[in-house]
């Protein structure tokens, strides 16, 4: 059990549920849920990568390169210019 929990926290897991209950063709209940479980480090890693993808899709190459520099050296202070 500990190995499973360690792997889930290391890689992350997403559970996406969609269910509809209907009786005699009448929809009574629809349930949509998304559960995401991961460690904070895993989340931050993927969030950083998703931010890069979003910036690249918007065509803002300069800001994308700046994001890469900040990620490579998080202790460095940003330019004051």
Number of domains in the chain: 2
CA distance readout (Å), 21 to 15, 16, 32: 20, 17, 12
| Banded pLDDT at 81 (limits 50, 70, 90) | very low
| Same-domain pairing of 64 and 32 | no
Share above pLDDT 70 across residues of the chain, in percent, rounded to a whole number: 78
| Same-domain pairing of 50 and 65 | yes
pTM above 0.95, yes or no: no
The CA distance from 47 to 38, in Å, is 12
Q: Per residue in 31-66, pLDDT tens?
A: 998 887 777 777 777 777 777 777 777 666 667 677
Q: Per residue in 4-39, pLDDT tens?
A: 878 777 777 878 888 999 998 888 999 998 887 777
Q: At 66, give phi and psi (nearest 5°).
A: -65, -40
| Same-domain pairing of 33 and 53 | no
Contact 34, 16 (CB under 8 A): yes
Domain that holds residue 19: 1-38
């Amino acid at each position: 059990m500990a190995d499973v929990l360690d792997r889930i926290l290391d890689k992350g897991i997403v559970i996406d549920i969609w269910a509809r209950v209907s009786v005699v063709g009448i929809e009574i209940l629809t349930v949509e849920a998304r559960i995401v479980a991961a460690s904070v480090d895993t989340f931050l890693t993927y969030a950083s990568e998703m931010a890069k993808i979003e910036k690249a899709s918007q065509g803002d190459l300069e800001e994308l390169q700046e994001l890469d520099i900040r990620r490579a050296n998080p202790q460095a202070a940003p330019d004051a210019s």
